[in-house]
Structure 1
C-alpha cells in the first residue's frame, strides 16, 4: 500500500509507527470520522495491525517512510 503523503507534524521518519505518536493534516476531518464511528481510537492502528499479523503467523509489516510518500508492505504467511 502506498500513500502519497509523507509523515506530518510531530510524526517523522524516526518515530513513525511508535504507539501514541500521531498528528493529522485535517484534525476536524479526523474528529468527524471518530464521531461518525469510522475511528475507534487514534494512534493505535499500526500497533493493532502488527499484533493481529503476529497472531495470524504473518511476517511483520515493512515500512518505507520518505518525506513525500509512505510505503507499507503486507506479506502473506508462508
Structure 2
C-alpha cells in the first residue's frame, strides 16, 4: 500500500521534511516512489505540488495524520 508521508532531511537540530509517496512497509528515510513537496517546521515554510498530490490521493494513496493536518493548512483537502 502506498502512503503519503514525511521523510526527514536536514542536519541534527534543524529538521526539514520532504513530502513523499512510498510503500508503507519501507523505512522512513528509504527510497520514495515520488517526492511531491517539502516542509520546514522551524520557518513554517512549505511547498507542495498540488496537482500531483490530488492525483495520487484520487488513486488511493493514504496520507498519514500529520500529512493530513499539513494539507488542511494548505487548503489542499477540506476539513470535515
User: TM-score under structure 2 normalisation?
Assistant: 0.25
Bigger RCO of structures 1 and 2 (CA < 8 A, at least 6 apart): 1
Q: Normalization by structure 1: what TM-score?
A: 0.25
Q: Which structure features the higher share of strand residues?
A: 2
Structure with max Cα Rg:
1
